Chain A
């Protein structure tokens, strides 16, 4: 009896993998039903539906990049401190001295790649008409995931706390100043005043809520850090679950009707 057989015959192995290896038809079916990670998939799929030239694989790539971002992001969180005193220095150290500092590069390039792959996924879903009934609502969830992906990238952009970061966020968030009614330089904001006091000022408008301050400062760094590492990823994870679940429930993999 070989070592491999001995391991596969042990109680531990069998408690994890309930069935023999997926080498014959029966076990290839069973593995899809009994493995938690694989059960996202149906047991069988249409050949053309999974052809790379049809799906472009972009949804799967986006999900994989989300996982890469989560893993590298958690590793970076062990190292990086989101304060004015340390943020920049920690990134500097990641670049120059830290072992596996390349995690930051992978995290950043993965983020860019994820933005692109999300767009391409949407592009493919549009071009194959896969948003049409019965998949309308899953498309809507997809649009929300697109927005959240951009917001994840946007909030992460600030964290290195270099010139590139704060000015990109300053430019991006300045728009919020002009939000109709809710920005202090937006149309209609003047109407919101009580007894001569403006309700919407630069310390109470949409931009202030976004930044936690009247300019991009330490409270912004903290706010963006929490959004980037906790709040948005949680929402994204939840929406991804619904998105995947509905792919199965709304008629399965996209195919000619």
Chain B
């Protein structure tokens, strides 16, 4: 189904360079394994893998212009399978499962070889995917290149965190001093720190110049107030917020929830009463804080940015990574408000409507009556749940924190949870709004 001018020589050759870099990296890995006197079979396996990649790279770079026979592509079966599976539910559920696996299997994942295999798989997946026209269209957008890089960078630093945290937790269990406490003499800032900074600045300048020369900044057609692009997307770092618009109205997704994120971040040092884990990496000593923060940062913030950037196409419909962005793709939306579930489906009676000609107050009361189920739920969620949690799951927290601190904490946790909860309600019972008062622009 290649209905596009598919693989151009420059793409094939570009991929050749990626394979070459991967070959060199694996060659170095094999050499290092050899130097460490690893099992000879393992060393040679890496060496053979590196050599294979090298040959692939050579074939693609040298023979790129006579094209397609050489290039190794992502199999159509895999592409079709991934696209068929792809939808927001699988994506978010998948990223949540991945998150849980990362935490549960952290001791295994911090193993260097495991991480190296995963890195290889990620690069190979990316390289193979680049043979697909539609994938290239999205990933290759100049503004999206940093996001792809960010994916690798965030993955790396998360791995590095767990590596150091697992090590420190191990040391604690054995009664050894922390990694940060060993060989921790004072050294002179000049040269030890100043030189690092200098090298860092030089390297960074080189990277920026190379990046600037290699990749032109995007410039589309001149602005036109009448030609609305489809999809219209906010700058990439706000795409997580734009994705929230699927589940909440702009006043929540665009104003209240971002404000809550910022207030929550600023409040963080004042609600985290745990004195441990100050100035060193650890997981075991501050599990709750780390899991909460990582959940907010990885699946919710980074995850939704990836979703908004790569997987949302025209009309903000969801598209698989290899799927052409079809403007006419239809998604059936039959979402229902809670009030309708309650009055019509539950009580089998019409929704309460104020008699025509009644005054403003009566109308308002009828609206409140109509939306009473949702209002009660939201009220209970925000005002009854915190004391309930204080007596049960967060009992220890409440005692340590005191009333005010605890209330702030509980509300922040609940507001953070309200996004995944709404997602869940949408996917399970097609819930549109818990409270739907379009008359007042007040929908939750």
Contact = CB atoms under 8 A, between A and B. Distances in A.
A in complex with B: yes
Interface string A94-118: 0100000010111011101101100
B85 to A, nearest CB: 28
B208 A257 contact: no
Interface string A11-36: 00000000000100100110110000
A216 B232 CA distance: 14
B280 interface: yes
Contacts of B270: 136
B357 interface: no
Contact of A177 (B150, B188, B250, B437): B250
Given A44-B187, A163-B227, A171 B232 contact: yes
Nearest to B282: A129
Interface string A162-199: 11111110111011111110010111111000000000
B197 to A, nearest CB: 6
A219 interface: no
A50 B218 contact: no
Q: Number of contact residues on B: which range applies?
A: 35 or more
B232 A167 contact: yes
Given A154-B235, A256-B278, A139 B269 contact: yes
B186 A47 contact: yes
B208 A68 contact: yes
Given A88-B223, A164-B218, A167-B228, A45 B192 contact: yes
A130 B279 contact: yes
A143 B265 CA distance: 7
B290 interface: yes
Interface string A126-152: 111111110111011001001100100
A60 B197 contact: yes
Given A128-B280, A154-B238, A161-B222, A109 B146 contact: yes
A178 B442 contact: no
A239 to B, nearest CB: 13
B225 A172 contact: no
A218 to B, nearest CB: 11
Contact of B251 (A115, A124, A180, A254): A180
Interface residues of A, number: 100
B441 A185 contact: yes
A223 interface: no
Contacts of B182: 48
A41 B189 contact: yes
Given A32-B190, A166-B223, A171-B232, A105 B213 contact: yes
A161 B225 CA distance: 11
B228 A46 contact: no
A175 B150 contact: no
Nearest to B443: A187
A211 interface: no
B251 A47 contact: no
Interface in B212-268: 212-213, 215-225, 227-229, 232-238, 241-242, 249-251, 253-256, 262, 265-266, 268
A66 to B, nearest CB: 12
A165 B143 CA distance: 12
Contact of A171 (B143, B178, B234): B234
B286 to A, nearest CB: 7
B219 A160 contact: yes
A254 B277 CA distance: 11
Interface stretch (A2-10, A51-59, A227-235): A51-59
B220 A162 contact: yes
Contacts of B429: none
A168 B266 contact: no
A172 B220 contact: no
B251 A186 contact: yes
Given A105-B212, A116-B150, A95 B219 contact: yes
A168 B269 contact: no
Contacts of A157: 235
A123 interface: yes
Contacts of B274: 132
A215 B225 contact: yes
A120 B156 CA distance: 11
A170 B232 contact: yes
A43 interface: yes
A205 to B, nearest CB: 12
B103 to A, nearest CB: 13
Given A215-B225, A256-B181, A45 B193 contact: yes
B201 A120 contact: no
Shortest beta-carbon contacts, A-B, top 8: A175-B254, A105-B212, A136-B269, A178-B250, A178-B251, A187-B442, A129-B277, A112-B146
19 contacts: A22-B190, A38-B190, A44-B186, A47-B184, A47-B187, A50-B192, A68-B205, A105-B212, A106-B208, A123-B154, A126-B293, A129-B278, A132-B269, A147-B262, A154-B238, A157-B235, A162-B220, A175-B254, A187-B440
Interface of B: 143, 146, 149-150, 153-154, 157, 160-161, 164-165, 178-194, 196-197, 200-201, 204-205, 208-209, 211-213, 215-225, 227-229, 232-238, 241-242, 249-251, 253-256, 262, 265-266, 268-270, 272, 274-282, 286, 290, 293, 297, 437, 440-442
